[in-house]
Amino acid sequence: MTPLVEVDRLVKRFPLTRGVVFQRRVGVVSAVDDVTLAVAEGETLGLVGETGCGKSTLGRLMIQLLEPTSGTIRFDGEDVTTARGARLQGLRRERQMVFQDPSGSLNPRRTIGAIVAEPFAIHGLLRDRDERRARVQELLEQVGLNPEHYNRYPHEFSGGQRQRVGIARAIALGPRLLVADEPVSALDVSIQAQIVALLRDLRDRLGLTLVLISHDLAVVRHLCDRVAVMRAGAIVELAPVDELFEAPQHPYTCELLAAIPRLPIGGGQSSSST
C-alpha cells in the first residue's frame, strides 16, 4: 500500500553568509541531512529529538512550508516536490499543521471565529456566510470549545483553549495529514493531558495521519505507532514504538531514555540518571 507521505533523501541546508556588499557563503547548516522516511495512511509517527536536531524543519518540509535543498517529497504516491501555484494550494488542504506557541500562532486582532473560518475563505469554500458560520461552530465544539465564543478574541482565552483554536483551524478543511509541532510543550501539565486526549480523539474519529513532533518521549509513546529519533539532521533510529522503548538500539536513543526522570509511583525507588 502506498504510504501517504514519503520523503526521499531529503536535504535542507541554510546558508551562513558573511560580507557587506557581496554576501559570501562561508558555510552551511544542514538542518535536515539526507532523510528518507515514509508515513502510512492512518499511522501516527513520532519525531523526537533535542533542540536543533531538525525535527521541526523536517515537519515543515513534509507539508512543504519550506522548500528542500534536494531530495523528493511524495504525497499519496505522486511526486510533489516541484508543485507550485494552484496545485500546491490544493495540496495544502490535505496537509495541515498545528504549531507550538498558541499565543504566537493566532492573530490577536481577529476573533477566533474569523481565525477558524479563514481556511475556507482562502480556498474559496463554503461561500455562504451562514453555512460557514455553522461549520466553524461545529469545529469549535469538536475541539471542546463553546461555539458561542465565536466572537471572542484570543487574549480572552487560556493557553490550552488557544491551542484548541489552533487545532480547529488545522482540521477545518478536513486534511488527511496533520503535523503537530510540539503541540503541548507550552502548556501546563494538567492541560497537556487534555490536548493530548483531544488529539487522540480527533485522530481516531477523523482518520487522520498524524506526525507528532516532540521532545517529550512519554507523550510520544502514548500517542504514536512508530517513532523516529533525530539528531543533527539525521534519523538515528526508526522503530515501532514498543520496540523503541523496550529495546532501543542506538546509543543516542538509550541516552535520551535514560535521561527522563522516573516517577517512583507505588513506592519504588526513583532512578538516579547518572
Partner 1 sequence: MSAGAEALLRVEELRVGFATGDGVVQALDGVSFALERGRTLGIVGESGSGKSVAALTVMGLTRGRRTHVEGQVLLDGEELLGATAERLRALRGEAVAMVFQDPLSALHPFYRIGAQLSEAVRAHRDVDRAAARRRALELLELVRLPEASQRIDAYPHELSGGMRQRAMIAMALANEPRLLIADEPTTALDVTVQAQILALLRTLRDELGMAMILISHDLGVVAEAADEIAVMYAGRIVEQAPTQRLFAAPQHPYTWGLLTSTPRLDAPRGAALVPIPGRPPSLIHPPSGCRFHPRCPYAREEHRRVDPPLAPVPGTPAQQVACLLPADVRGALWRRLAAGATPDEARSAAGLAPEPAA
For partner 1, the binding residues (CB under 8 A) are 50-51, 158, 160, 188-194, 196-197, 215, 217-219, 221-222, 241-242, 245, 255-268, 270-274
Closest separation in Å from C-beta 269 to partner 1: 8
Q: How far apart are CA 168 and CA 204, in angstroms?
A: 15
Question: In terms of CB distance, is 85 or 272 closer to partner 1?
Answer: 272
C-alpha torsion sign, points 102, 105, 109, 115: negative
Cell triple for residue 23?
Answer: 554576501
Closest separation in Å from C-beta 90 to partner 1: 36
Give all strands of the β-sheet with 209-214 in edge-to-edge order: 95-98, 177-181, 209-214, 44-48, 226-231, 234-240
Question: In terms of CB distance, is 108 or 267 closer to partner 1?
Answer: 267
Question: In terms of CB distance, is 96 or 100 closer to partner 1?
Answer: 100
Cell triple for residue 31?
Answer: 538542518
| Amino acid letter for position 115 | I
Question: In terms of CB distance, is 64 or 253 closer to partner 1?
Answer: 253
CB 184 within 8 A of CB 216: yes
Closest separation in Å from C-beta 219 to partner 1: 6
Closest separation in Å from C-beta 81 to partner 1: 32
Closest separation in Å from C-beta 186 to partner 1: 11
> 256: closest CA among 60, 51, 100, 39?
51
Residues 6+ apart with CB under 8 A from 15: 25, 27, 28, 29
Question: In terms of CB distance, is 38 or 191 closer to partner 1?
Answer: 191
